[in-house]
Amino acid sequence: MQKEVAFLTCHHKETVVAPVLLKQGYIIRVVDNFDTDSLGTFTGEVDRPLTQVQTALKKAQLATELTNCRYGLGSEGSFGPHPQVYLLPWNLEVLALWDRLHEHAIYAIFGSSETNFSSEKINSIDHALSFAQKVGFPSHGLIIGTPQDSFFAKGVQDANTLIDRIHAALKVSASVWLETDMRAHMNPNRMQTIQNTAEKLSALLQSFCPHCKLPGYGLTEMLNGAPCEICSTPTRIPKAEKWNCLHCNFSEVHPLIEVAPAKNCDVCNP
Ligand SMILES: [Zn+2]
Ligand SMILES: [Zn+2]
């Protein structure tokens, strides 16, 4: 039995998401007559008032409203420093699947350091070209300037255009911001991360809550504090996984290990 899913996207994300979800019997129907940028953009032209997860859900819900489909899918990405390794760039993707009949949301969240996310202030054509080379241009697009600049341009994917526009920009400004364009259709690295997120969603669609039988049952929290094998002091090593159903709130704790190696203990190995 195939289920139709309305997907609110205008950046061709369906090309990587649809084949993965089709294996679970979900057929993607693209909704592109809605400007998702009105919900916020990376380049700061519109403020994003909701959190990333809320925005993905909002898009999924809008998709069902615009189409009358039972299922809606929304995607939202963010970029910034890696949560543990500050200098490493980090791409976090969320896919939210909304079941309007059961008013039930499933979230797939996937983080990756495989991203070219970066920006640099440049003041010459050579400087611009070396930045472009570093970030995988032209297969990855670039943004020139900020929305306030007269020479602002997104989605630059051609060397001649880049040189012409930088040349023009440097005539009116001593320096120019160059930035990676992180929209999915401009960024193969991001497209790959979205595909990985879709695979995670696909796994959740096959995992059913033991209590209410809806899909999306999975890991929601790592419980830290496995006791040291020598002195039993809680360590930072996870002792269990908590699985939770976001619909009926049923949860289970799955133990991982009984004791942690003493090398992870702050008392035995300070
Ligand atoms: Zn449940
Ligand atoms: Zn110890």
Ligand 1 mean position, distance from CA 199 (Å): 21
Kindly list the strands in the beta sheet with 104-112, ordered across the sheet, starting from the edge strand earlier in the chain.
26-31, 3-8, 71-81, 89-99, 104-112
Ligand 2 mean position, distance from CA 255 (Å): 20
Mean residue pLDDT of the chain comes to 92
Domain with CATH 3.30.1490 in the chain: 119-181
The CATH number assigned to the domain with range 3-115+187-204 reads 3.90.950.10
Q: In terms of Cα–Cα distance, which of 113, 125, 116 is closest to 165?
A: 125
Give residue-wise pLDDT tens across range 66-100: 998 999 999 999 998 887 777 788 999 999 999 99
Ligand 1 mean position, distance from CA 2 (Å): 22
40 confidence band (pLDDT: 50, 70, 90): low
The ligand that comes nearest to the alpha carbon of residue 229 is: 2
Ligand 2 mean position, distance from CA 35 (Å): 56
What's the per-residue H, E or C state across the chain?
A: CCEEEEEECCCCCHHHHHHHHHCCCEEEEEECCCCHHHHCCCCCCCCCCCCHHHHHHHHHHHHHHHHCCCEEEEEEEEEEECCCCCCCEEEEEEEEEEECCCCEEEEEEEEECCCCCCEEEECCHHHHHHHHHHCCCCCCCEEECCCCCCCCEEEECCHHHHHHHHHHHHHHCCCEEEEECCCHHHCHHHHHHHHHHHHHHHHHHCCECCCCCCECCEEEEEEECCEECCCCCECCCEEEEEEECCCCCCEEEEECCCCECHHHCCCCCC
The ligand that comes nearest to the alpha carbon of residue 235 is: 2
The ligand that comes nearest to the alpha carbon of residue 267 is: 2
Rounded Cα gap, residues 221 and 215, in angstroms: 18
pLDDT more than 70, % of the chain:
94
The ligand that comes nearest to the alpha carbon of residue 215 is: 1
Rounded Cα gap, residues 227 and 210, in angstroms: 30
Q: Is the CATH code 3.30.1490 the one for domain 119-181?
A: yes
Domain with CATH 3.90.950.10 in the chain: 3-115+187-204
Ligand 2 mean position, distance from CA 50 (Å): 43
Rounded Cα gap, residues 95 and 252, in angstroms: 24
The ligand that comes nearest to the alpha carbon of residue 106 is: 1
- Give pLDDT, residue 88: 86
Beta strands 89-99 and 71-81, pairing class: antiparallel
- Give pLDDT, residue 128: 97
Ligand 2 mean position, distance from CA 253 (Å): 24
pLDDT at residue 212 greater than cutoff 90:
yes
Rounded Cα gap, residues 120 and 107, in angstroms: 33
Ligand 2 mean position, distance from CA 236 (Å): 12
Give residue-wise pLDDT tens across range 23-32: 999 999 998 8
185 confidence band (pLDDT: 50, 70, 90): very high
pLDDT more than 90, % of the chain:
83
Rounded Cα gap, residues 203 and 193, in angstroms: 16
The ligand that comes nearest to the alpha carbon of residue 226 is: 2
Ligand 2 mean position, distance from CA 34 (Å): 57
- Give pLDDT, residue 74: 95
Ligand 1 mean position, distance from CA 216 (Å): 9
